[in-house]
Amino acid sequence: MEMEIKRETTKYNWFSMFWEGFTSMSRMSKTLWIVAIVKLIIMFFILKPFFFPNLLDTNYENEADKAEHVRTELFRKALANE
Amino acid sequence: MDLLSASAVNWSRAQFALTAGYHWLFVPLTIGLGLIMAIMESLYVKTGDLKWKAATKFWQKIFGINFAIGIATGIILEFQFGTNWSNYSWFVGDIFGAPLAIEGILAFFLEATFVSIMFFGWNRVSKKMHLTSTWLVFVGASLSAFWILVANAWMQYPAGMEFNPDSVRNEMNDFWAVAFSPVAYNKFLHTTFSCWAVGAAFVAAISGWYLLKGRHADFAIKSLKIGSLVGLVSFIMLAVTGDGSAYHVAQKQPMKLAAMEGLYKGTEGAGLVAVGMLNPAKEKYNDDVDPYIFKIEIPKLLSLLGYRNINAFVPGIVDIIEGGYTLPDGTTSLSFQERRERGLKAIQALADYQTAKKEGRDADAANHETILRENYAHFGYGYLETEEELIPNIPLTFYSFHLMVMIGLYFILFFVIMLYFLYKKDMVNSRWLQYVALWSLPLAYLASQLGWVVAEVGRQPWTIQDILPVQAASSAISAQNVITTFILFAVLFTSLLVAEVTIMVKQIRKGPDSEELNS
């Protein structure tokens, strides 16, 4: 019984810590959250999908095809120097 | 290499340098301030002095600004691997991916979890729990750096792997050789101390500013004492681990060492250039033009640092290209041309291996695989056309290295003087030293960036030392695409930096909580 009460108290403290922390943030903290979230949105929802596709994943379906492409590329680039 | 792809490679390199350089403005302060605020909080918990608590909370706010704005800026570097450097990404396989994955899963989440307790947990969790969280934020940030540096060190000294010609990937066969290679742990220590050094210089600068303004003198002196101690230890340890770096560079990347010193012709008992100016009239590595306009050398020191022997032979650029000198393992070094031939043989063997496999000629495939393995250590040389391609940018490497060392020595002197004034003189009224503290901050950041310039420019043309040069590592993409994203990144990162500086300046002007300071 005592164990249970202790666990409940701990749970409550953790929850209230985060709840109160987020709800009583200063103006500066809120600004920082906005900057961080906008930055992450730009990075993951604009830059990554539109400007930084994984070329091998986009153009080749399986590992063997990717390996073949890289092998061909490595050979082609060496030949270009000969 | 044709002009168009050369341009794409160079823009890809410039883009990586831009993003890494900006990212590295945020990281050192996170780790450096992380340590300083953890020390301050430890003093608060030990002594119960609320002034230490106020100081901790103030530096935590600055840490928070830097953390929030800098967080995830490194992920942009990972985006570039898949787009601009897809051959490299595939070729390194899990060796590069594993440390980055550990970094993302373990270290970053450790850091992120305890950051929230650190900020929200004051007066909500016990003092000891809070202190533990603060230390774990610092440990998490350092672990995060460790795994990134393991990945970087592997590129400088590829170990613990075997090339698989079927998958065209280097596969890890010894995790511990990758994670704890001598290059990796030395790099980690050197880089970590550089972060502490930036944190210390930052604390000294802001504290100096408060003293100049006649505000929060007690807080500023307390901060200066911790900052100066951390700073002095860091810069001394930077010299010690810098010695370790020089040793490893001499063993594993002799061309980088030659570039750092502007050493064209090798010699026994080589001296270390303390101060020097390169001769811009030197156009070819093997012409007879003196590489220096002037130089002041410390006799024998380069041999001692690089080989632990004052009379050791240190190869210059000409020696590395022409070969024929005795390597530390007793073998004779190959010339550039010999290594190029062996590199081409390895590349051809890789192509022949695949053809033989496809045609079911297993015995031939085994034969080609043997040739590939025998020559794999020279694989990357097959992509280099001329000797000059093997030489990194000498002036940039040389001046970056020497300026970094000079700034390091300056800071040792600076922190010794600072500690002397803090403990023996009247720091509050020493305005000249307060000005010096304030204006030294850019130097700390500069040295931190220069260290990376030496490490990364000095190892050109390699993405993986001796195995894969930049032109083979890059994707077949147009320069125009890279230029577009270069501009986007420049705008994004500059905006983030402006936001950081603006918010930080506002917070610094506001200062620590007066109520807490006077409690």
Interface of B with A in 372-391 (CB under 8 A): 382-385
pLDDT band at A25 (very low <50, low <70, confident <90, very high): confident
Q: Identify whether the C-beta of residue B84 lies closer than 8 Å to the C-beta of residue B15.
A: yes
Close Cβ partners of B34 (under 8 Å, ≥ 6 residues apart)? B63, B134, B137, B138, B141, B142, B199
Q: Which residues of A touch B (CB under 8 A)?
A: 13, 16-18, 20-22, 28-29, 31-33, 35-36, 39-40, 42-43, 47-48, 51-57, 63, 66-68, 70-71, 73-75, 77-78, 80-82
Q: Where are the beta strands (DSSP E) in B287-419?
A: 292-298, 313-314
Look at residue A11 and tell me whether its pLDDT is greater than 70.
Answer: no
Set of chain B residues whose Cβ sits within 8 Å of the Cβ of A12 = none
Instruction: From chain B, pick out residues whose CB is under 8 angstroms from the CB of A67.
Output: 90, 166-169
Distance CA B267, CA B260 (A): 15
CA angle in degrees (0–180, nearest 5) for B451-B452-B458: 95
Least CB–CB distance from A43: residue in B64, B76, B120: B76
Q: Which is more confident, B272 or B328?
A: B272
pLDDT in tens, B282-326: 999 999 899 999 999 999 999 999 999 999 999 999 999 999 999
Which of A29, A42, A55 is closest, CB to CB, to B492? A42
State how far Cα B24 lies from the chain centre: 9
**Predicted ipTM?**
0.82
Q: B223 CB near a chain A CB, below 8 Å?
A: no
User: How many Å apart are CA B243 and CA B153, to the nearest integer?
Assistant: 16
pLDDT tens track for B156-198:
999 999 999 999 999 998 989 988 899 999 999 999 999 999 9
Question: A-chain residues within 8 Å CB-CB of B472?
Answer: 73-74, 77-78
- What residues are paired with B276 via a beta bridge? B295
Count of Cβ atoms closer than 10 Å to residue B426 Cβ: 8
B18 — contact with chain A (CB < 8 Å)? no
The letter for the amino acid at A8 is E
User: Do the strands B267-268 and B313-314 form a parallel or antiparallel pair, or are they unpaired?
Assistant: antiparallel
Which amino acid makes up residue B427? Answer: M
Cα–Cα dist B157/B181, whole Å: 8
- In chain B the first and final C-alpha atoms are separated, in Å, by 68
Query: Do residues B455 and B17 make contact, with C-beta atoms less than 8 angstroms apart?
Result: no
Give mean pLDDT, residues B460-478.
Answer: 93
* Residue found by looking up tokens 């500013």 in the block: B209
CA distance A72 to B318: 34
Confidence at A9, pLDDT banded by 50, 70, 90: very low
In our burial notation (b when 16+ CB lie closer than 10 A, e otherwise), range B18-41 reads bbbebbbbbbbbbbbbbbbbbbbb
- Sorted by where each begins, the domain ranges of chain B are 3-157+182-258+394-517
For residue A24, the chain B residue with the least C-alpha distance is B120
